[in-house]
Amino acid sequence: MSAARDRFSRGIVAFRQMREVVAYKEDLHVWVYYDQTDDLLRYEAYVIDYDDDGNPSTLAFVVDDGILPWDCALGDYLTKRRLRSQGAKQSLWDIPRHTRATLSTPEFNLYLQLGKEERGRLHHLFACEELRLKAMHRSTWQKRLRALGYDVIASAY
């Protein structure tokens, strides 16, 4: 706390803002997913927030989002296994509403087309892509976090 005392200011008190700490390894997450509607591999890098007890609570904000090329390992896998949709839908009328009935239909839900082993392989590829993106964009994403007022550390552990 500081108080300015001069002839122009009469003791106005201003509190110094505390900077929150973000552990890059634990607090920054990358969600990689296959958008069947647009036939795209997408990602979102986001930071989670914590409640007063220190438990993960909600999404704080999205640091970055983008589209992945099909020539990555995940894209190769989906293409070779013929798991991709027929292509981007050109009309809103072609896009099914995401209701329970629609999502329980294998035609509109990729995961219902896969066996347990294949789902595990796909989840492993998603996790590998998350690690690759975090390493590739580390410098850029850390700069964005610092610009937002965070102290960025490598890891909390």
DSSP assignments along 85-146, one per residue: -SS--SSGGGSPP--HHHHTSTTT-GGGGS-HHHHHHHHHHHHHHHHHHHHHTHHHHHHHHH
pLDDT > 50? residue 147:
yes
Say what the pLDDT of residue 2 is.
Answer: 47
Mind listing the pLDDT tens digit for each residue in 95-129?
A: 556 666 666 776 667 777 788 998 899 999 999 99
Residue bearing the bigger pLDDT, 92 or 107: 107
pLDDT score, position 135 = 95
